[in-house]
Amino acid sequence: MTPADKPTDAEIVAQVLAGDQAQYRLLVERCQRVVFNAAYRLLGNREEAADVTQDTFLRAYQALASFQPDKPLAPWLCRIAINLSLNRLKRQRPALSLDDDRHSPALELSDSSAEPQANLLQAERQHILRQAILTLPPEQRAVIEMRHFQGHTYDEIAAELNISLPNVKSRLFRARKKLRQILEKDA
């Protein structure tokens, strides 16, 4: 099957809404990685991110009729995942340590042609950044996730989090400032 032959997300949603629930699996397969990554970057725990990912797809299935087919599906799903992650963080405020390696992801070598040492250094920098992000308050973590990992505009973040545009800018400013302080201190 060529990419041109693949049904769009909107076409699959229409099929599911028409009664073909088996098609929903295609949407899950297409989007589960991006949803998991969004939850993981907020929660910092693989098991909790997996739970949120599962809850996200359950909630999305239940609310599929409210999906706007003229918009992309992945951001809609990520918004659900972010909200579920924030709710989870509000309930359990975990104690996180920069020295805690239990939740660090496996090394991901992005370019197999690059030198192994360069890959290790990049993976270490990514790990340090992830750990620093986990020390941010959930509200700041969410705006960092949405802006820098999902590429949302300030207006989109404001709309999705139901906060004002100045509040988005303020949270981003404070989050970036705190991240700089953490990273400079550890350098």
Helix pair 73-92, 154-161: axis angle to 10 deg: 60
pLDDT, tens digit, 9 for 90 and up, residues 80-101: 999 999 888 887 653 433 333 3
- Domain boundary assignment for the chain: 1-96
Residue 113 has pLDDT above 90, yes or no: no
CATH architecture of 1-96: Orthogonal Bundle (1.10)
Q: How far is CA 120 from CA 37, 126, 137, 141, in A?
A: 20, 10, 28, 25
Three-state DSSP at 40 gives helix
Residue 106 has pLDDT above 70, yes or no: no
State mean pLDDT over 50-58.
Answer: 95
Q: How far is CA 155 from CA 68, 135, 138, in A?
A: 18, 25, 19
Sequence-separated (6 or more) residues with CB below 8 Å from residue 171:
139, 140, 143, 163
State mean pLDDT over 168-185.
Answer: 90
pLDDT averaged over every residue in the chain? 82
Confidence (pTM): 0.64
Buried b (16+ CB within 10 A) or exposed e, 142-156: bbbbbbeebebeeeb
153 vs 99: which has the higher pLDDT:
153
Q: How confident is the model at residue 151 (pLDDT cuts 50, 70, 90)?
A: confident
State mean pLDDT over 39-46.
Answer: 89
Q: How confident is the model at residue 102 (pLDDT cuts 50, 70, 90)?
A: very low
Helix pair 165-186, 154-161: axis angle to 10 deg: 110
| Percentage of the chain modeled with pLDDT above 90 | 37
